[in-house]
Structure 1
Amino acid sequence: MFRKVSLALAATLIVASAAWADPIEGNWKTQAGSTAAIAGSDTFSITLKSGKYSGKTIGSFKAAGDNKYTGTITDPETDKTYSGKATLSGASLKMSGCVLGGLICKSQTWHKL
């Protein structure tokens, strides 16, 4: 009896933890065609998993509410870091890197895998 209850509790916790995961977490296809993994809980780290810069961490974001995130994003080719923002809309993530307080931004859209 105890074993059945333990298994049921474990299964419930696994399902519940998946439901509590932030929607930004997971694997994303970048505009350049690489795969980026976003993981974390309070701070989300972005690491390239494929492509020329595989293994490189390129960003750090925090939730800002309403499916928006703020933080920093690094261009893996130049190693320059910019003020970053991201907006999640369904299975699309619009990523932007900005300079001059957000006056000049370069954006791209990633898609959830």
Structure 2
Amino acid sequence: MKKLMLAAAFAIVATTAQAAEPIEGNWKTASGETAAIGKCGSAYCVTLKTGKYAGKQIGRMSGKGAEYSGSITDPAEDKTYSGSGSVSGNSLKMKGCVMKIFCKTQTWSRL
């Protein structure tokens, strides 16, 4: 019985730790640039670190755990869209939408 309780407690802790995946860090974008995501006030800012638009903030998201929402900017067109991010392990699925109907999704990899 004691081993069963210990195993159950371990499973709960492992599940909780896995569910709270941080968005903060450096990510390789779908186009190959590096983007840094870090705290900025009560939100998380997405800033390009490499490439043609290095230094440009391209997003601002709020949330916790694995789900985030906010805005994301296409630096080439300088247009901002409603956005969301979903972290799963070393992958970040970034989604930008116009009128919540026309959406484009990219998967970024943690560096």
For residues 29-108 of structure 1, what are the structure 2 equivalents within 5 Å? 29-40=28-39, 42-63=42-63, 65-100=64-99, 102-108=100-106
CA shift digits 1:61-92 (9 cap, x unpaired) = 000x5511000000000100000011111000
Taking the aligned partners of 1:27 and 1:112, their CA distance within structure 2 comes to 6
Runs of 4 or more above 3 Å deviation: none
* TM score, norm. by length of structure 1: 0.76
Structure 1: gaps (5+ residues) = 1-21
Taking the aligned partners of 2:83 and 2:37, their CA distance within structure 1 comes to 14
Q: CA RMSD in A?
A: 1.6
Using the TM superposition, give the Cα deviation of residue 104 of structure 1 relative to its aligned residue in structure 2, in angstroms: 1.1
Relative to structure 1, the CA distance from residue 66 to residue 26 in structure 2 (aligned partners, 3 Å threshold; closer, same or farther) is closer
* TM score, norm. by length of structure 2: 0.77
> Greater relative contact order: 1 or 2 (C-alpha under 8 angstroms, separation 6 or more)?
2
Instruction: Tell me the amino acid that sits aligned with residue 58 of structure 2.
Output: I
Instruction: Tell me the amino acid that sits aligned with residue 37 of structure 2.
Output: I
Give aligned-pair identity as a percent.
56
Count of paired positions = 91
Taking the aligned partners of 2:43 and 2:70, their CA distance within structure 1 comes to 9
